Amino acid sequence: MNILPLVPRLSSGAFPSLVQPQKFSFLSAQQQTQDVRYNFQVFRDKEATKHLLETALKDTELSKHDTSVYRSSHKHNICVDMLREGYHKSFSELFALIQKWNASREAAGPGTDIWQEKSLEEQPDKLDQLYHFLTKTEAAQRAGNFEDMYENVLALAQYFKKSGDKWLSDHFFESSLNIAKMVHTDGGRKKAEAHANVGLVLLEQGQLKKATEHYEAFHHLTVGHIWEDKTGRTHHSLACENLWRIYTLLADKMLENKEHHRAIKSLIKAFEIAKEGDDKRMEGKAAYRLGLAYRSAGDPETAITYLKTYMDISKVLRDNVGLGKAYEAMAKALESQGKIAETVMYLEKFVELAKISNETHNLVDACICLGSIYNARGQCDKACEFFDQAYAVAKNLSDLPLLEMTQVHYGIAKTHGLMTTVSKHIEAAGQVNIERLLTWKDSRNDMFNDPIALEKPSSALKITNEDKHMKELVVTTIDPGKMESKTSE
């Protein structure tokens, strides 16, 4: 028995959305074919896009190595690459250099110049250079190619020299010398160049004796060879110049310690090596220094011999500055021999040459030398003439010490000349002489050269007690010490 109530039957119009009228499309066969082709093209484009996306995602996946390179420092990546490629020696040297820098920086402490500089680890360009040339050097070593080893290490030294990293350039110059000693195919040229480079390094460090050893080795290896540098200069002439310079520097140190004989021996070596270098200018300078050394050692005769050599070379080279120095040194050597006339002759030549060459400082020096000689001989007027010239030139120079020196010399010569006249007036002891002395004392004007005859003590003028008192007064003014003795009496 059905107890459920009856559900009324609804028409289809009550739910219009559930009943949709079926529409039929009456398309032609051509239109249906085009529609199929269009759907197939869309399918193909979707497949291609999907393939591109999958490829792009696959390409963007980073390997473990790529991730490590991105996250690690440049130094770390370089060291890893060296070890991965088997360059263990290159890695060891790079790591040792970095440690050396850090140790030097820590030893210097905060606030120092090295502390403010970037460490080697923070300079990727320099790390790249080290990586490139160190690995090439190690590869050349494995192949037994010592020439390439030398060139690569030398390239590093020159690179760091240009960049101002002296400690690195010095390190690689020394390394290049050790490698050059193993090269036996070039007649010793690379070895000679390496000795020259290390000699310069030691010279800049102030180690003169060690530098001398390397320069002497450089000179020895270049004898008989016509090797040239990039400028076209022969290695032998360069070796002679370097040896001349370092022998002279050694002599300077010896002269500072008053070791004249040792200094002369070193300067003789410098002179001989300068002649070997076939450079007249260098030979002249060596002769000049040797002449000065002999004069300082108390041997003016030998000094004159070398100074004449310098004088002759300067004339040939038309070097007026050098010729003036030769005249001055020659005059001093002759003066020490007591040959005053010849001394004055060379000094006057020095003055004329300085005027022609417009060498103002040399002109001042020459005038001072001449004035000093005339002043020492008692020719005060002549001395004042040259001191006045020196003072006039010095006023136009921005050299205050030189100006003050000329003022002092001029004042001394002027005083010496004045004292001669004052002494004559005091010795005369006449009324007119005493009055003139008192007038000069009041005004400081030079009237002593006025054409008035000096009175003699033997004249008819009687010297009174007042005149004697005035004489004592003038003497006291000139020499206060006599006043003290008079008072004590």
Which domain covers residue 211, as residue numbers?
Answer: 123-221
Tokens coding 392:
């006039």
Angle of helix 124-142 relative to helix 74-84, nearest 10 degrees, comes to: 10
Residue 4 has pLDDT above 70, yes or no: no
- Give the end-to-end CA distance of the chain in Å, rounded to a whole number: 179
Q: What is the DSSP code string of 56-117?
A: HHHHTPPPHHHHHHHHS-HHHHHHHHHHHTT-HHHHHHHHHHHHHHHHHHHHH-TTSHHHHS
The answer to whether the predicted template modeling score (pTM) of the entire model surpasses 0.85 is: no
Q: Quick check: 33 pLDDT over 70?
A: no
Q: Are 104 and 114 in contact (CB under 8 A)?
A: yes
Residue 157 domain flag? yes
- Helices 280-296/300-317 angle, 10° precision: 160
CATH number of the domain residue 153 falls in: 1.25.40.10
> Is 448 a member of any domain?
yes
At 295, the pLDDT band (50, 70, 90 cuts) reads very high
- Asked whether residue 25 carries a pLDDT value surpassing 80, the answer given is no
- Number of domains forming the structure of the chain: 2
pLDDT of residue 176: 96
Q: How far apart are CA 239 and CA 196, in angstroms?
A: 8
Distances (CA, A) of 105 to 99, 109, 160, 202, 359: 10, 6, 18, 22, 49
Identify residue 202 by its one-letter amino acid code. L
Percentage with pLDDT > 90 across the chain = 45
Domain boundary pick from 163, 188, 221: 221
Asked whether residue 266 is domain-assigned, the answer is no
Radius of gyration of the chain (CA): 48
DSSP conformational letter for 234: B
Q: Is residue 99 within 8 Å of 93, Cβ to Cβ?
A: no
CA nearest to 291, candidates 253, 257, 322, 315:
322
Residue 27 in this model has a pLDDT that exceeds 60: no
Q: Where residue 92 falls among pLDDT bands split at 50, 70, 90? A: very high
Chain segment 250-270, per-residue pLDDT in tens: 999 999 999 999 999 999 999
Question: How far is residue 271's CA from residue 289's CA, in Å, rounded to a whole number?
Answer: 9
Domain termination residue (choose one: 221, 247, 264): 221
Assigned domain for 143 exists = yes
Q: Are 190 and 147 in contact (CB under 8 A)?
A: yes
**Of 157, 179, 55, which Cα lies nearest the Cα of 97?**
157
27 located within any domain: no
Q: Quick check: is 142 in a domain?
A: yes
User: What distance in Å separates the CA atoms of residue 303 and residue 290, rounded to the nearest whole number?
Assistant: 7
CA distance 333 to 303: 7
- On whether residue 486 sits in a domain, the answer given is yes
> For residue 304, what are the contacts with CB-CB under 8 A and spacing of at least 6?
291, 330, 333, 334
In this predicted structure, which of 290-304, 366-380, 451-465 has the lowest mean pLDDT?
451-465
Q: Which two tokens stand for residue 1?
A: 């028995």
Report the SS3 class of residue 258.
coil
Tokens representing 43 are: 């399918």
CB 327 within 8 A of CB 350: yes
Looking at 200, 221, 242, which one is the last position of a domain?
221
* CB 234, CB 242: distance < 8 Å: no
Q: Is the pLDDT of residue 155 over 90?
A: yes
Is residue 49 domain-resident?
Answer: no
* Euclidean distance between CA atoms 98 and 322, whole angstroms: 50
Q: How confident is the model at residue 379 (pLDDT cuts 50, 70, 90)?
A: confident
Report pLDDT for 64.
53
Provide the pLDDT for residue 461: 35
Token pair recorded at residue 176: 């290049």
Burial of 33 (0-12, 13-18, 19+ CB in 10 A): exposed
Q: Tell me the mean pLDDT in the region 440-453.
A: 62
C-alpha–C-alpha distance, residues 334 and 357, integer Å: 24
Question: What does the pLDDT read at residue 180?
Answer: 96
